Amino acid sequence: MFFSHFGGIFDHLFLLGAALEGDYTVGDFLLRGSSLISFTISRGGRIAEFRDSGALLPFGLGVIGETFQTQHRKLDVDASKFRKRTPRMLRYLKNDVLCIFEAMQKFYGMDLLKGVPQRFTIAGQSIQVFRKFLKKPFPACPKGMDAFVRRAYAGGRVEIFNPYFRSKKKKLYCYDINSLFPTVMANDDLPGQFIRFTTKKKVDLNKLGFCDCDVFVPRKTEIPILWVKENEKFLFPTGYLSGVWPIVELKEAVKNGAKILKVRGTSYFASAGDVFSHFVRTIYALREASKDEGERTVYKLFLNSCYGRFGMKMLRDSFEFDCGQVGVKPGFELKLKDGRIYRWVSREKYVHTTTNVAVAAYVTANARLRQYRYLRPLWGSGTRTRIVSGRKKRCARARVSANSSLKKKSITQYSCSQKRIARKKSISVKRVKNSTRVSQK
* pLDDT bracket for residue 17 (50, 70, 90): confident
Mean pLDDT of the chain: 82
Contact between 208 and 218 (Cβ < 8 Å): no
Could you give the strand order of the β-sheet that contains 46-52, starting from the edge strand earlier in sequence? 2-4, 46-52, 35-43, 25-32
Residue 334 has pLDDT above 90, yes or no: no
pLDDT in the model for residue 30: 86
Q: What is the pTM of this model?
A: 0.80
* pLDDT bracket for residue 144 (50, 70, 90): confident
* pLDDT bracket for residue 402 (50, 70, 90): very low
- Backbone phi and psi for residue 196, each to the nearest 5 degrees, phi listed first: -165, 165
Q: Which of 277-291, 339-353, 419-433 has the lowest mean pLDDT?
A: 419-433
* pLDDT bracket for residue 424 (50, 70, 90): very low
pLDDT in the model for residue 383: 63
Residue 210 has pLDDT above 60, yes or no: yes
Residue 329 has pLDDT above 90, yes or no: no
Could you give the strand order of the β-sheet that contains 208-217, starting from the edge strand earlier in sequence? 191-198, 259-271, 208-217, 239-246, 438-439
Contact between 65 and 73 (Cβ < 8 Å): yes
CA distance 406 to 243: 33
Average pLDDT for residues 150-155, to the nearest whole number? Answer: 94
Q: Which helix (H) or strand (E) holds 20?
A: helix 11-21
Among 9-13, 70-74, 337-341, 370-374, top mean pLDDT goes to 70-74
* pLDDT bracket for residue 297 (50, 70, 90): very high
Closest by CA to 358, choosing from 198, 190, 130, is 190
Query: Looking at the chain, how many residues does it have?
Result: 441
* pLDDT bracket for residue 27 (50, 70, 90): confident
* pLDDT bracket for residue 384 (50, 70, 90): low
What is the DSSP secondary structure assignment for residue 139, as one 8-state letter? Answer: P
For 242-265, the pLDDT digits (tens) are: 999 999 999 999 999 999 999 999
Average pLDDT for residues 345-352, to the nearest whole number? Answer: 74
Q: What is the per-residue DSSP string for 294-324? A: HHHHHHHHHHHHHHHHHT--SEEEEEEE-SS
For 172-184, the pLDDT digits (tens) are: 777 777 888 999 9
pLDDT in the model for residue 397: 34
Closest by CA to 440, choosing from 150, 146, 222, 199, is 150
pLDDT in the model for residue 9: 87
- Give percent of the chain above pLDDT 70: 84
CA distance 17 to 389: 57
Higher local confidence (pLDDT), 181 or 328: 181
Contact between 361 and 210 (Cβ < 8 Å): yes
CA distance 336 to 13: 10
Contact between 213 and 435 (Cβ < 8 Å): no
Residue 326 has pLDDT above 80, yes or no: no
pLDDT in the model for residue 320: 74
For 92-131, the pLDDT digits (tens) are: 999 999 999 999 999 999 999 988 999 999 999 999 999 9
Residue 239 has pLDDT above 80, yes or no: yes
pLDDT in the model for residue 441: 44
What is the DSSP secondary structure assignment for residue 379, as one 8-state letter? Answer: S
